Structure 1
Amino acid sequence: MMQRVALIDYGSGNLRSAEKALVKAAAGRAEIVVTCDPDTVANAERLVLPGVGAFAACMSALEARPGLIEAMSEAVHGKGAPFLGVCVGMQLLASRGLEFGETPGLDWIAGEVRRLEPADPAAKVPHMGWNALTDVSDQPIVAPLKAGEPVYFTHSFAFFPKDEENVTAWVDHGGRFPAAVARGNVAGVQFHPEKSQASGLSLLSRFLEWRP
């Protein structure tokens, strides 16, 4: 039976391009279901949480869908389903976000989301465009993305886990910050796989095969 991947629709942008990229990466190996239905999410074999915009707005949109966070937690923590957060979807894994005040996050990976403050004045915020990864770990999703491989970013805030062992790749933009994180069956990337061409598609393909 084909595995079902829940691409969580909670009103955040970039959903269609994320869906197209996942369908392409799946190449018929998985069914990609765009959904906010708690039962569908709770019973999915894998979950992907996209996100574009402000941390507080995305978190409140997630909370506004009855039973959705509980269903995500049941799938991920109760059943061990692999989870991938993308951009703000990764940031929501944090304990809290510090954009427009303090907002509690999912707290699935301890840490906080704070504004990028590059030491180099030439490094603009928002951080937009292609940038090379550094210090890529052996975590299965990111390992084949060699240090120096460019991926596509667009953001002003970054997630800084409390324990740096949860960081699986870094990037430098007038200062170093995490480009990818993972803890157990939960992973996240700050960059956009759906905009990162072959590198992004290969990452999504590995997520669909990941057995944490």
Structure 2
Amino acid sequence: CRCWFETGLTLIDIDNIRSHRRRIMSSSGSRRATIQKRSDLCVKTCRYLYRNVHGRLLSIKYRKEVADMSDPSLTFGEIVPQSFLQILNFTSDSTKLSGRNFVDLGSGTGRACICAALSPYGFSDVLGIELMPDLCAQSESVCARLQELLEKPVADNIAVIQKPKGGEKGTTNADLDAVALQVFSSNASEGQGIAVDLFANMITKQMGHKVFKVAVKQHKTFAKYLKEKEGLFTLSE
């Protein structure tokens, strides 16, 4: 695992997801069976990682502190792993997701990012953008736990990641090996450097009281882009 800690930026690149993935890949069986195995793994892993994580409470507390009236209901919602994977599966281009980037705006505690990274669809990069500091800290904590989990050949509390029959021979899903989990987090203080994609308007609506000034060009990977352009984009009232 490689971690970079910079001003307003925490980028966690988990590159041993590859070995974790191979443990539940069988040398035989259809693509559907492989997806089902990976989906089961993803769901059980998320349940394990988030069993004591309560993002809703942190969100309500933060919104009250900053008097965020853009969301007077003070609600907070995160994805349900099973439903989220079904949405990905029924996407019209679900067979062409490999190599694409997954971006979650308002990523909260990072649940969707972890699901996307562990999913069978082979995203090239998974990026979560969250502006609430407490939720950023929560997502970093969850990612640290995921890192510890992935470094162990077998986790006793998640039986599904034990190596299945068939081993690693003949794996035809090498394209899935390139997935990395990247969590980008930043607070919303005045003048804080932040890098976002072309979704600035959506984030502005979400935050209500903030305006983002950005000029983003397409780049090969988010990781390289963030490293090169970090500090170029700023928040202003």
TM-score after normalising by structure 2: 0.26
User: Relative contact order (alpha carbons < 8 A, sep ≥ 6): 1 or 2 greater?
Assistant: 2
Q: Whose helix proportion is higher, 1 or 2?
A: 2
